[in-house]
Amino acid sequence: MTFNYEELVKNTRKAFNTGKTKTLDFRLTQLKALLRLYEDNTQLMIDALKIDLGKSKQESITGEVNVLKNDVRNLIYNLREYMTPDKPSKDIANLFDGVYIIKEPYGVVLVIGAWNYPLQLLGAPVAGAIAAGNCVIIKPSEVAAETAKLFEKLIPQYLDNECYKVVYGGVTETTELLKQKFDYIFYTGSTMVGRIVHAAANKYLTPVTLELGGKSPVYIDDTVNFDVAVKRILWGKCVNAGQTCIAPDYILCTTDVQHKFISTAQKILKEFYNGDIRHSPDYCRIINNQHFNRLRNLITESNTVIGGATDESNLFIEPTILVNVKADDPIMQHEIFGPILPILNIENFEDAIDFINLREKPLALYVFSNKKDVINTFLTNVSSGGVVINDTLMHFLTDSLPFGGVGNSGMGRYHGKYSFETFSHQKSCLYKDYNIIAESLAAARYPPYSDFKTNFLTQLLKKRKFLKLPGVVTIAFILLASIGIRYFANIYGYSTYWTSFFKSQ
């Protein structure tokens, strides 16, 4: 379908300006429709993922479809609470005022999805944008073509056609979209394209969330249960054939730990795929020939201790472990995004921390150790988007935790409540009435100015640590303070001002 992109955004903004997306009922209706979309078309989504990535039924359901269903259910169950204005604490100066934080939608937002989890990485931010009351223009990744076409077909059947629109296409279509003025942009993908999106957003000072990637390191020491630890690391690497933004990218360990890891890994990979991974229905394929060739060129025969087999006709790359890897090797220059796992040797955990900190901040950090001091040192001294101790990937599935990057691995966060917050502007609201006591306290702000007024306002606005007293006690305190104002005003010769003020009320 050919779009006039300027008209597309203009018409979507017109729909937003009607105000219909702002009501609780409308948002709930759309979220429930989105849930029906997932429930009615589960098999179609599984089939599309099989075509695009060779995903097994279990990976499709547990890693994509069910994640989306539960994400929408969470938003439906909690939306009323999320929409309720927050009431932050108040200082004495605002005791009689209403202090609120209102969550308002940005307006028309653009969500650009990724190909590696083409359902989940598009559907989750779209649900958050709907919950927050925005209109959404949805751009699925054309690289996962079957899934993109499925979104293009199904979204108009279930969601409001004026407020939610799908643009199918490639680089040209994305480029044209980015020329338009949006109120928020959410992008998931590579750091290189993330910079392009950020630059386009800067033209209109559009806020963005960039969910990018990077080289997520694994540190492992000799205190772990190797059977469990290696199983968790290999699972994190083999899911989706390593095409996961938070997949373990490389391992840092001593040579002794390396030997234990390799011997355990050989056994576990046989268990995972019954000794015949090439024909296993549980192992994904590389997305296309371009990515296949890039990954195949990273495998060096001299460094391979496990795996290394490839089949371009089937876009198959065997889970591969490399040793004797150096920091300046090609495989260490960019995110791997495939089933290749290099091991670099270090002497101790301090060396591992230094190695990580010399590079861009990772999206995820994985620490495998039973030493609390080691774990705490990593938590304190390594900056990363997220961290998991003694496991991989599982923080992504914990929707009570915000997910997002830092530095080169991204900006912003989402999942659960944080998706709603990402797509909501936190609007400050101070509500004042004409309360005589409040006005008497605030009267010192008006001209003519004086040292007395300055000193009084300084004391009134000074931050203090108060016990949380009952409202009646607090009001009594304010009344006494009000009387005190008049008393000290008389002493310091300001009785005329305060007498005239109180008479005027």
Q: Pairing mode, if any, of strands 424-431 and 208-211?
A: unpaired
Q: List 187's β-bridge partners, or say none.
A: 112, 210
Phi-psi region of 169 (alpha: psi -120 to 50; beta: other; left: phi over 0): left
Burial class (CB within 10 angstroms; exposed 0-12, middle 13-18, buried 19+) of 474: middle
DSSP state of 283: S
> H/E element holding 320?
strand 320-322
Spacing of C-alpha 415 from chain mean position:
6
Q: Please pick, among 245, 253, 318, 335, the residue that the annotation labels catalytic.
A: 245
The rounded distance, in Å, linking the Cα atoms of 497 and 488 is 12
Which sign, positive or negative, has the C-alpha torsion 274, 276, 282, 286?
positive
DSSP state of 65: I
The rounded distance, in Å, linking the Cα atoms of 264 and 227 is 7
Q: Please pick, among 59, 142, 211, 335, the residue that the annotation labels catalytic.
A: 211
DSSP state of 400: T
Task: Check: CB of residue 369 under 8 Å from CB of residue 349.
Answer: yes
Select from 231, 230, 234, 253 the least CA-distant residue to 242: 234
**Is 211 labeled as catalytic in the residue annotation?**
yes
Select from 161, 140, 338, 163 the least CA-distant residue to 245: 338
**Is 253 labeled as catalytic in the residue annotation?**
no
User: Which sequence positions are flagged as catalytic?
Assistant: 211, 245
